[in-house]
Chain A
Amino acid sequence: MVIEPAGESAVMVYLGETMDPAVSARVQALAAAIPEALGGHLLDLVPSYASLLVVYDAYGTDHMHVIRELHRLGLALEQGETGEGRLVELPAWYSSESGADLEDLARRAGLATDEVIALHSGTEYRVYAIGFAPGFAYLGEVDARIAAPRLATPRQRVPRGAIAIADRQTAVYPAVSPGGWNLVGRCPRRLFDPAAEPCMPVAVGDRVRFRPIDREEYLELGGEP
C-alpha cells in the first residue's frame, strides 16, 4: 500500500499497478472499511482500478490521522477475505447497424463479426471504476483478441446505450456524449437514470455479462431506435 497526497484534503491509496481482479477486490474491501474508520470526517471516496481516492474534512481531521487509519485498515485487509460482487446481466444488441465500428474491429482482428460478438459476450467483466460521466462504468478485461485502441478522432456524438471497446476495457455510454471508443452494439437498459432507485444497475466491484439480443428484443426492452 502506497499513500500519496492528493491536495489539502485528500489522499490517494495505491494498492497495485495493473488492472487485476485481486487488486480491485482489495480496493473494494478498503473502500468498504473506511466509512466506519473515518466516520463523519470522510467526505467521499473514488475507487478505481488499483487506487482509492479518500476525501476527508480538513476542518475536522488531518492527513496524519487519515493515513494512520488507512495503514491500520491496510494491515487488516491483508488477512481478510474479499467477497464477490453481484452478477448483473446487460442485454446487448450487437450489429453493424447498432455498432458502427463492429465490422472494422472484426476486420482488424482477423475475425468474423459473430466471433467478435461471441468473445465480447462470452467474458464476465468486473466493474473497475465509475467516472468520466455519471454512470459510466469501466468494465474489464476485454479478450485480448478484440482489444482495440481508441479512435484517432473521437466522435462528436455517441448515442446513449452504445456498447464500446477501448484497449481491454469495455463500457456502455450512459448518455449521449462525445467519445473515442469503438462502438460494437447498443444496450436498451439505462445505465444512469436520476429518477430511478437505484439510479445505476451496477456498482464498482460488481460483475457484468452481456447477453446478445436482436433488434426486436432491443426495442421491446425500451431501447431507443
Chain B
Amino acid sequence: MSGLRVIDPGMLALLQDAGRRGYYRLGLTDGGPLDRQAFDLCNRLLDNPAGAAAVELSFGGARFEAETDTFLCLAGAPMPLTINGSGQPGWEVLPVRAGDRIEVGHAASGCRAYLGVAGGFNAEPAFGSVATVLREGLGGLGSGKLAPGDQLSCAPVRERRRRYLPESARPRYTRQVTLRVVPGYQQHHFSRLQQRRFFGSRYAVTDRADRMGYRLAGPAVRADIDGILSEGICLGAIQLPADGQPIVLLNDRQTIGGYPKIGAALSLDLSQLAQQVPGGEVVFTPISQHAAHNALHLAQAYEAARPIRERTP
C-alpha cells in the first residue's frame, strides 16, 4: 500500500468523506467535513468525484511524507504549506513525489483545512462511509483520529490539471459569522421577547466547540418548558438547555435529544461557524423555509460559477 504517511497529525486530523447517510435508525450520526464548502472545493480543484475522502485538519501543525507520486491540494483555513521546505500556495493542485515531506503550519485565520489527493484517500468504509466519528468509533483507518505512522492509501497519479482558486474567489474566514436560522421545532415555546433576544443579540464561541456542536455564550434565551420527549435532531439544530446558552449542533451530534430547540441554522452557514475559534462572534437572523430553499439553490448556482483557473506551462 502506498500513499501518504502521517508523521505528525497535529492537533486533530480526521479522515472524512461526505458523511454517513441513511443510518439514523441505528443511531448513527452524519460525520463528514465540518466545512463542507472548503471540502467540496478541494475535491473540485483535484477533479475528484464529489465526496472523495480527504483529511480534515483542525488548527494545523501536521506533517506527512509522500510514499507515492501524486497531486495534493490544501483548501480551507489558510495554513502555511511547505513541500520539502519550500512554501506552496493553498487552494491549488500541487505535484508531489514519493519521498517528499509535506508540512502544514498553524492556521492564520479560521481553524479547519482539508488536505486532499488526486483520486481521494482509500479506506474500508463502515456503513457506507469512511467518515470518522470518534464518539461512535467508526470510520477513518479504523482506529479513530490519525496518528503518527498511519498510512493513508491513495493511488499513484502521474497527470492532473493544475487547477487553482484565485485569491479573490477564495472563501474568507473572519471572526464573525451570521447564521441564517429557519425557526421550527419548539419555536412556540419561546416567547416573543425570548425570540427577539435570540435574534437581536451577539453570542461568543466558547471553548466547548467541537465536531458535535458549538456552545455559545451570551444573553440567555429560555423556553417555557424544561425538556421535551426526546426527538430527532437535524444538522444545524439550535438547542437551548436550561442555562439559556445556545448550542449549534454539527456533524457528530447525537441523532436524538431532549432539549428545546428554537430552529436550525442553514447548512451553508455552518462552514463559516466551524471555522470559528473561541471568542468568535455569532449572530442569528431568521429566514423562512422558502428563503432557505432558495438560498440552497442559489448557492449551487454560485458555486458552479466560481472561477476555477488552471496553471499552464
User: Which residues in chain B, 237-293, are within 8 Å of chain A measured between CB atoms?
Assistant: 237, 254-257, 263-267, 289, 292-293
Cα distance A110–B27 in the bound complex, in angstroms: 36
Is A48 touching B231 in the complex (CB atoms < 8 A)?
yes
Asked whether A87 is an interface residue with its Cβ less than 8 Å from the other chain, the reply is no
Which residues from B are CB-within-8-Å of A47? 25, 232
Assess A53 versus B264: contact at CB under 8 Å? Given A6-B185, A133-B136, A194-B127: no
Cα distance A18–B230 in the bound complex, in angstroms: 10
Asked whether B296 is an interface residue with its Cβ less than 8 Å from the other chain, the reply is yes
Is A6 touching B26 in the complex (CB atoms < 8 A)?
no
Assess A48 versus B229: contact at CB under 8 Å? Given A8-B266, A59-B297, A62-B293: yes
0/1 string, B1-33, CB within 8 A of A gives 1: 000000000000000000001111111100000
Asked whether A83 is an interface residue with its Cβ less than 8 Å from the other chain, the reply is no
Asked whether B235 is an interface residue with its Cβ less than 8 Å from the other chain, the reply is yes
Assess A8 versus B296: contact at CB under 8 Å? Given A48-B256, A49-B230, A133-B136: yes
Assess A133 versus B292: contact at CB under 8 Å? Given A6-B237, A8-B266, A49-B231: no
Q: How distant is A121 from chain B, measured CB to nearest CB, in Å? A: 24
0/1 string, A109-141, CB within 8 A of B gives 1: 000000000000000000001111111101000
Is B25 touching A203 in the complex (CB atoms < 8 A)?
yes
User: Which of B126, B135, B230, B254 has the largest count of A CB atoms less than 10 A from its CB?
Assistant: B230
Asked whether A4 is an interface residue with its Cβ less than 8 Å from the other chain, the reply is yes
Q: How distant is A206 from chain B, measured CB to nearest CB, in Å? A: 12
Is B22 touching A44 in the complex (CB atoms < 8 A)?
yes
Which residues from B are CB-within-8-Å of A36? none
* Residue from A43, A53, A200 within 8 A of B26 (CB atoms): A200
Is B233 touching A8 in the complex (CB atoms < 8 A)?
no
Cα distance A129–B187 in the bound complex, in angstroms: 23
0/1 string, A11-55, CB within 8 A of B gives 1: 010000111000000000000000000000001111111111101
Asked whether B166 is an interface residue with its Cβ less than 8 Å from the other chain, the reply is no
Asked whether A175 is an interface residue with its Cβ less than 8 Å from the other chain, the reply is yes
Is B21 touching A44 in the complex (CB atoms < 8 A)?
yes
0/1 string, A172-194, CB within 8 A of B gives 1: 00010000000000000000101
Select from chain B the residue with minimum beta-carbon distance to A63.
B289
Q: How distant is A100 from chain B, measured CB to nearest CB, in Å? A: 23
Which residues from B are CB-within-8-Å of A62? 293
Assess A130 versus B26: contact at CB under 8 Å? Given A18-B229, A19-B229, A46-B232: yes
Asked whether A10 is an interface residue with its Cβ less than 8 Å from the other chain, the reply is yes
Is B230 touching A194 in the complex (CB atoms < 8 A)?
no
Is A12 touching B185 in the complex (CB atoms < 8 A)?
yes
User: Which residues in chain B, 187-233, are within 8 Å of chain A measured between CB atoms?
Assistant: 187, 229-233
Is A7 touching B25 in the complex (CB atoms < 8 A)?
no
Task: Report the interface size class on chain A.
Answer: 35 or more
Is A130 touching B293 in the complex (CB atoms < 8 A)?
no
Is B27 touching A6 in the complex (CB atoms < 8 A)?
no
Cα distance A203–B295 in the bound complex, in angstroms: 36
Asked whether B119 is an interface residue with its Cβ less than 8 Å from the other chain, the reply is no
User: Which residues in chain A, 193-222, are within 8 Å of chain B measured between CB atoms?
Assistant: 194, 199-200, 203-204
Which residues from A are CB-within-8-Å of B293? 8, 58, 62-63
Assess A7 versus B235: contact at CB under 8 Å? Given A49-B229, A131-B254, A134-B26: yes
Which residues from A are CB-within-8-Å of B26? 130, 134-135, 192, 199-200
Is B300 touching A55 in the complex (CB atoms < 8 A)?
no
Is A51 touching B231 in the complex (CB atoms < 8 A)?
yes
Asked whether A5 is an interface residue with its Cβ less than 8 Å from the other chain, the reply is yes
Asked whether B234 is an interface residue with its Cβ less than 8 Å from the other chain, the reply is yes
Q: How distant is B214 from chain A, measured CB to nearest CB, in Å? A: 16
Task: List B residues at the A interface (Cβ < 8 Å).
Answer: 21-28, 126-127, 135-138, 182-185, 187, 229-237, 254-257, 263-267, 289, 292-293, 295-297, 300
A-B contact pairs, 20 of them (CB 8 A): A4-B184, A5-B264, A7-B182, A7-B184, A7-B263, A7-B264, A8-B292, A12-B231, A46-B256, A48-B232, A55-B24, A63-B293, A130-B25, A132-B254, A132-B256, A133-B254, A134-B27, A134-B136, A194-B127, A203-B25
Q: Other CB < 8 Å A-B pairs besides A5-B184, A53-B234, 9 of them?
A: A5-B263, A9-B267, A18-B229, A44-B24, A49-B230, A58-B293, A133-B136, A134-B28, A194-B138
